[in-house]
Amino acid sequence: MSKNQTLTLTLEDGTQLTGKSFGAHTDVAGEVVFNTGMVGYPESFTDPSYKGQILVLTSPLIGNYGIPKSIKNDKNLEESFESNEVQITGVIVSEYSDNHNHWQAESSLGEWLKKNNIPGITGIDTRALTQKIRTKGSLLGTITTDPKTKLDFYDPNEENLVAQVSVNEPVTYKAGEKHIAIVDCGMKLNILRSFLKRNVTVTRVPWNHNIWDMGIDFDGVFFSNGPGDPAVMDETVAIMQEGFKRKIPTFGICLGSQIMGRAAGGTTFKMKFGHRSQNQPCIDTETGRCYITSQNHGYAVKRESLPKDWKVWLENANDKSVEGIKHKTLPFFSVQFHPESTPGPTDTNHLFDDFVNML
């Protein structure tokens, strides 16, 4: 960490906060959001759902276990990270630890951010900053090397971020006899690992790729997580709706759940500050059971917009927002949270088994 260099966070409401620079010393702009997780920053920072966002971490100490080495498995997939690059635009922490200690660590967090040209600011009261975001909602912000610099604010939700983080062409990962299509909207790699671990062959396609013209008889279709506004995902919605007509088992996670809400005939809305944490309680309306879940989203399905043949399956115990929907008679279901975790609890990992059993 540089002892002399500083960076300034400027919010669209005029707030300016200056702290020490760690990571890249550069200017950026994005949407400022917060995450309350105490661990899992390598996984979170590489989650494509954070594309275009400046991430505020409420945990008071960040960086103490460094960054693990990049390891590829037998399918050439990253084992330590959730994509092949750092996806966040910038990071704000209260206290950064350059002195890291972990048996898997290859570098410090600051070194890793510099390598990936991502700025970090330490010495900011992140709890106070989070209270501001909770009160006013997610805010646009800039990070600049000079507090006098007037950088234009940038709202990442005004463009199709999914097109920036999806794969460019179809790729197949062979495993067992069952074969599913994954429509990649910015998928976390542990979703892919979770299916391969269950001996399911996967064909991963771009967000707007028409899987129905591929000449493959898929046993099921999965729609992944990803960044941005589901309202711009008309092409993906149409792909899912065709699957509904064919009554093919369909599963969605996070953005995939919002796409399912739209494909069902419902609508979505932007939440005030979203859910980005590893301890969100979700209640199964069928059993009354409460699961602790990992989440990262800024949009949700509007409950009252769902047609009568669909049901709210899971709901958030804190704010009653929709956390999962399913069709009342056909094999279509989705969840707003992340059953694959990484980071976070694995309480709902069984949902992958449930989907595989439908195939």
Tens digit of each residue's pLDDT (9 = 90 or more) over 237-286: 999 999 999 999 999 999 999 999 999 999 999 999 999 999 999 999 99
Mean pLDDT on 317-333: 98
Please state, in angstroms and as integers, the Cα–Cα distance from residue 219 to each residue in 83, 128, 222, 240, following that order: 26, 49, 10, 14
pLDDT tens digits along 121-178: 999 999 999 999 999 999 999 999 999 999 999 999 999 999 999 999 999 999 999 9
User: Active-site residue among 254, 297, 323, 327?
Assistant: 254
User: Active-site residue among 179, 297, 327, 338?
Assistant: 338
Tell me what pLDDT residue 4 has.
Answer: 78
Preceding amide of 156 cis, omega within 30: no
Mean pLDDT on 222-226: 98
177 noted as active-site residue? no
**Structural domain boundaries enclosing 63:** 6-156
Residue 2 reports pLDDT greater than 80:
no
pTM across the whole model: 0.96
Beta-strand (E) ranges in 174-328? 179-183, 201-205, 220-223, 250-253, 268-284, 290-301, 310-316, 322-327
> Domain ends where: 131, 156, 181?
156
Element (H, E) at 29: strand 28-35
The reply to whether 1 falls in a domain is: no
> Domain ends where: 121, 156, 191?
156
254 noted as active-site residue? yes
Please state, in angstroms and as integers, the Cα–Cα distance from residue 305 to each residue in 79, 89, 157, 280, 330, following that order: 39, 33, 22, 23, 19
> Domain ends where: 114, 132, 156?
156
Mean pLDDT on 314-324: 97
The reply to whether 353 falls in a domain is: yes
Q: Alpha-carbon distance 245 to 109, whole Å?
A: 48
pLDDT tens digits along 63-105: 999 999 999 998 889 999 999 999 999 999 999 999 999 999 9
Residues 144 and 245 in one domain: no
Residues 302 and 194 in one domain: yes
Mean pLDDT on 301-316: 98
Residues 171 and 214 in one domain: yes
Residues 180 and 123 in one domain: no
Tally the domains of the chain.
2
Residues 66 and 18 in one domain: yes
Residues 95 and 110 in one domain: yes
Which CATH number is 227's domain given? 3.40.50.880
Nearest-10 crossing angle of helices 255-264, 234-246 = 70
Residues 40 and 174 in one domain: no
Residues 235 and 284 in one domain: yes
Which CATH number is 51's domain given? 3.50.30.20
Residues 286 and 353 in one domain: yes
Mean pLDDT on 298-327: 97
pLDDT tens digits along 179-216: 999 999 999 999 999 999 999 999 999 999 999 999 99
Residues 232 and 341 in one domain: yes
